[in-house]
Amino acid sequence: MGKKVRPPQYFTRVLSPAEQACGSFDQGAITEQKMIGFAGEGSAIHRIGPLYYWAWAQADRIAAVEAHPHRGFEILSYVLEGAIEHRDTLGHRSRIDAGGLQLMQTGSGMEHEEHFVQTPARSLQIWLDPHFRQEVGVPPRYLSWSAAQFSQEGAATNLLGRQSPVSLVTPDVTMQDLNLAAGTHADGDVAANMGWAAIVLKGRGSWRVGNQDFVIGARDFLVHQAEHETRWEVNAHENLRLIWLRVPLVLPYPLFPKPRS
């Protein structure tokens, strides 16, 4: 018999920075707010379907994350401000400026290092499980895109999903960088058995999902795991920037195990 798949949990939450994990590199020169951390790091959200890890890294001086290995996961880095230089054992050395995105499909294994070469620098790192046990048998790949390669749709930049140049192995993932001027709003749908999550980078506003209303502000982490199709709306009380991701909660393959402690 196959391994029993745990059914998804359905809930809606706004988590303050205190309910998220934190970390650092290079003697504290790089700090991280971990919306979804690794096991035992203390973040309130364990995972959202294939979304295994999500961190917001910041550096105010030149610093580096030294060489370290990865395998199996699809790892995205999206540069919000400044510039990062990537180096890896596949022979790549590339600079990612603000608005650019890189993808490591780590497969059977690769090592990389990240250098924050223009500061202040801010970036997001996202780990997705594309069917880990299958992907560890595939050669690794590295790809990158500049800000100019992503399409704009009103106040949103389409990073993953519709109109994006990025092709993932992990299915049905959508991601947008949403910049709302004060007094404006954006809305959308979350289909049944989908998860929607967002990190508020700056500003204040409100979030309505279904029949629930929340006040949101900088560094808050928004999570909605939908049992039924749900409508969401974000209203900006002042200039508001957030990054949102939508992922499936039910997949046609077993997820890589993630301990809770």
Give per-residue pLDDT as tens, 138-163: 999 999 999 999 999 999 999 999 89
Give Cβ neighbours of residue 257 (< 8 Å, ≥ 6 apart). Answer: none
SS3 118: strand
Which residue carries 């959508």 as its tokens? 174
Asked if residue 14 lies in contact with residue 213, where contact means CB atoms within 8 angstroms, the answer is no
Average of per-residue pLDDT values in the chain: 95
Cβ contact 196:246 at 8 Å: yes
Amino acid at 208: R
Nearest to 236 by CA among 219, 218, 261, 250: 218
- C-alpha distances (whole Å) from 160 to each of 20, 66, 104, 113, 186 are 24, 28, 14, 24, 17
CA distance linking residue 107 with residue 195, whole number of Å: 25
> Tokens 């990025």 belong to which residue?
166
What pLDDT shows up at residue 8?
Answer: 82
Would you say 230 and 224 are in contact if contact means Cβ atoms under 8 Å apart? Answer: yes
Three-state secondary-structure class, residue 88:
strand
Q: What are the structure tokens assigned to 15, written together?
A: 């988590």
**Residues making up the chain, counted from first to last:** 261
- Contact predicate 143/199, CB 8 Å: no
Structure tokens at 142: 């590295």
pLDDT at residue 176, as a whole number: 98
- In the chain, which residues have pLDDT < 70? 1-7, 261
* Phi, psi torsion values for 119, nearest 5 degrees: -120, 160
- Other C-beta atoms within 10 Å of 71: how many? 14
Domain ranges of the chain: 11-248
| CATH node for 11-248 | 2.60.120.10
Instruction: Give the pLDDT score at 162.
Output: 86
